[in-house]
Amino acid sequence: MTSIQAPAAAGEASGGTYVDTRRYLWAVGLAVPGLPLASWGLAALTGSDLWWWLTPVVIYLLIPLLDAVTGTDTANPPESAVPALEEDRYYRWLTYLYAPLQYGSFLAGAWLFVGSDSWVTRLAIAVSVGAVGGIGIANAHELGHKTERVERRLAKVVLAQSGYGHFWVEHNRGHHNRVATPEDPASSRMGESFWAFLPRTVIGSVRSAWRLEAKRLRARGKRVWSLRNDVLNAWAMTVVLFAAVVLWLGPGVIPFLVIQAVFGFCLLEVVNYVEHYGLLRRRTASGRYERCRPEHSWNSNHIVSNVFLYNLERHSDHHAHPTRRYQSLRHFEESPQLPNGYGLMIGLAYFPPLWRAVMDHRVVQHYDGDLTRANLHPAKRERLLARWG
């Protein structure tokens, strides 16, 4: 296990050697694109079509179970070790390698889809590949925040499978500016179900991405309708990718392309729903919103799901320090904590009564009973204040 010699920094008692105990665990995430292929092998070996559902079972059942068993880890790397930790290219290569593995799974899934004569099996294949693409968006999220050109371009490539290339623009320049405010389409409101949030965030994110990119291009004196437009060139990647697959396998593959893309970006959006539910930044005396701090994102330190998602669940530190790399993200005591990792929480989000039973009282506790400080769904505002007031 590689260690980093960490000299004492301001506020640290002494220097020493820092060891990332998860260094080789981070590679486990690369197994995700192999799950649909494992389904294929196990179904062929056993003769049971139930194996085609392995990927969603792992995501929605096995990972939450492992999170419950292994628990949380609140340890942070010492700040003196962070520069060397972030320069260690091993961690970057793990994010780079996900992309070719993701596309290998995508192409194999497309081929298996058209070769199957069972629509139940076809649905399982499309959902499984869509889940790989949805988790790939967590990878694109990590890459897209970085300043190196190769990482930013690779983020667009990863997003092409789900047809969600505009996320690259909206997330970095829209969501991070407006997070935990009523103006942000990707910040869910207390009392708003996931099914009400989904169309609002999908439509709102597309609109926001287009406006942001059009504004950027006009400010530079460039044409909006051109391949310099980062929304258009990202969508163009999807068009080229899907057209190539249709030419290869025929029009029978079109349902696969649609189902896996929709499932993939819906998986992203249910994660967005979980990450900021009910949290609100206050306006300052100047009328501007206060700076985003760790208490404006729901956090989770569950070990297993964080390993699979590039520490995405340490979302509080990510929003406070967006360029910080996944291996050095920190836990903050003031961050509101989820009761489990994302696997369980997104499952709960699909069932609004269960979600409200688990999360609404946590929002109330976070704001010490004063829901006027929370981000409330306008249609439910009076009812929520009456219930919790």
Averaged pLDDT, groups of 10, the chain, 389 residues long: 50 64 94 97 96 97 96 94 94 95 98 97 98 94 88 94 96 95 97 98 98 97 96 97 98 98 97 98 93 95 95 93 92 95 97 98 97 97 93
- Residue 17's pLDDT is what? 82
- Residue 8's pLDDT is what? 43
Note every long-range contact of 1-5, with CB atoms under 8 Å and residues 24 or more positions apart, other chains counting: 2/88, 2/90, 4/81, 4/84, 4/85, 4/88, 5/84
- Residue 389's pLDDT is what? 75
- Residue 148's pLDDT is what? 85
Question: What's the first-to-final CA gap in the chain, in angstroms?
Answer: 53
Q: What tokens were used for 277?
A: 């539910």
In a 13 Å sphere around the CA of 303, the CA atoms on its Cβ side amount to 14
- Residue 9's pLDDT is what? 45
Residue 298: phi and psi, rounded to 5, are -75, 140
- Residue 204's pLDDT is what? 98
Buried-state track 93-119, b at ≥16 Cβ within 10 A, e below 16: ebbeebbebbbebbbbbbbbbbebeee
In whole angstroms, what is the distance from residue 288 CA to residue 82 CA?
Answer: 32
Q: What tokens were used for 350?
A: 């699909």
Please report, for the chain, the start and end positions of each structural domain, with discontinuous segments joined by +: 27-388
Q: Where is 5: in which H helix or E strand?
A: strand 3-6
- Residue 11's pLDDT is what? 40
Full DSSP string of 248-288: HH-GGGHHHHHHHHHHHHHHHHHHHHHHTTT--PPB-TTSS
